Amino acid sequence: MEQGIAAVQPLQALFKPRLAADALDVAMHHDRAVIPLGPPQGHGIAVYGKHINAMGVVGKTLQFGRSLHAEALLSQGLNQSLEIGEDSRQDGEMGHGPNPALTDPSHNNRADQTPLQLGVMASGNGSNFEALAQAIQAGDLNARIQRLVVNNPGCGAQQRAERLGIPVSVLDHRLIKDRRELDAELVRLFRADRVELVVMAGWMRIVTEVLVSGFSDRLINIHPSLLPSFRGLDAIGQALQAGVKVTGCTVHIVTEELDAGPILAQAAVPVLDGDDHATLAKRIQEQEHLLLPKALAGLKPTWRQG
């Protein structure tokens, strides 16, 4: 559901009479951006003790009321901390009601742009891969998936690609045991398909400098935590063990250092009382399906210049 995501926008773009003056005043005095979080629900965001329906302020601190039913998409470079507010109630439900489409000033021009040529890598069920395909079909992402590559023969992602009519290749890591050799084959396949951007959508293998340099600044990963917290394996289990109250997912550029590349977008997900690995993973994955296509839709293909 669209309620789980909101775009960070420049303050000027939201300077309209219908917005709450309190939020705008806070933003203007603290050099922050206002984010719309969907229609009023009688509960919303607590910002410095003020209860504001369907609106938040992003800056050094983004403070969520306990009854929050939306996660915020946080853009690169803000370095927010997330804190749980003390007011309001929480009933544990998520995603109430529709959320307006993200405001994207470049959207009206996308019909005249060449679709982004994507290569996708997946190891498991492939739900993020299909979320990309669905966003493309719906017109929310101006792109084309040139090829899916999987490393587990017969995995769910491969089955989805075959059903969707998307070319798929299998590079079994059990047969190609050298990681550099596997990555070199990935580069060869994607370049042969004229892929511009490679997306690791649940690729459960650590990549080498061969792939990172082969698609420098054009290799994207989605990770189930609010990086830089909980890098590496089983980020959801790490979050539960740490007892945090907020976690989420991150879309970032891949570098040679594991889960340490520049952050493109994040979605925050509260950790609810009684959450286990399965329930938290399900809610994080729902946000991944929204976040990944929107993050890609917001990219500017600067590599096409020159």
223 a catalytic residue: yes
Residue 266: which region, alpha, beta or left (left: phi > 0; alpha: psi -120 to 50)?
A: beta
All structural domains of the chain, each given as residue ranges with its CATH number in brackets, are 2-84 (no CATH), 109-299 (3.40.50.170)
8 A C-beta contact, residue 84 and residue 103 = no
Residue 171: which region, alpha, beta or left (left: phi > 0; alpha: psi -120 to 50)?
A: beta
Q: Give the DSSP H or E segment for 150.
A: strand 143-150
Residue 306 has what pLDDT? 56
Residue 31 CB contacts under 8 Å (≥ 6 apart), including other chains? 59
Number of continuous H segments (helices) and E segments (strands) in the chain? 7, 14
Beta strand 197-200 with 116-122: parallel, antiparallel or unpaired?
A: parallel
| CA–CA dist 145, 126 (Å, integer) | 14
CA quadruple 234, 231, 223, 208: dihedral positive or negative?
Answer: negative
Q: Which residue has the tokens 């070319």?
A: 167
Beta strand 33-36 with 55-58: parallel, antiparallel or unpaired?
A: antiparallel
| CA–CA dist 281, 163 (Å, integer) | 25
| CA–CA dist 57, 61 (Å, integer) | 8
Chunked into runs of 10 residues, the chain (306 residues) has average pLDDT values of 38 31 33 32 29 30 31 38 32 31 42 85 97 98 98 98 98 96 98 98 96 97 98 97 98 97 97 97 97 95 78
Residue 199 CB contacts under 8 Å (≥ 6 apart), including other chains? 118, 119, 120, 121, 132, 220, 221, 222, 292, 296
- 3-class SS string, 29-66: HHCCEEEECCCCCCCEEEECCEEEECEEEECCEEEECC
**Within the chain, where are the H helices?**
21-30, 127-138, 156-164, 179-192, 209-214, 235-242, 277-297
Retrieve residue 127's tokens. 């739900």
Q: What is the dihedral of CA 287, 77, 68, 30, to 10 degrees?
A: -160
Cβ neighbours around 41 below 10 Å, total = 16
Cβ neighbours around 39 below 10 Å, total = 13
Among 43, 69, 223, 289, the one annotated catalytic? 223
Q: Give the DSSP H or E segment for 199.
A: strand 197-200
Retrieve residue 289's tokens. 């399906």
Residue 191 CB contacts under 8 Å (≥ 6 apart), including other chains? 214
Residue 113 has what pLDDT? 82
Q: Give the three-class secondary structure for 134.
A: helix
Strand pairing partners for 246? 270
Q: At 186, which amino acid appears?
A: L
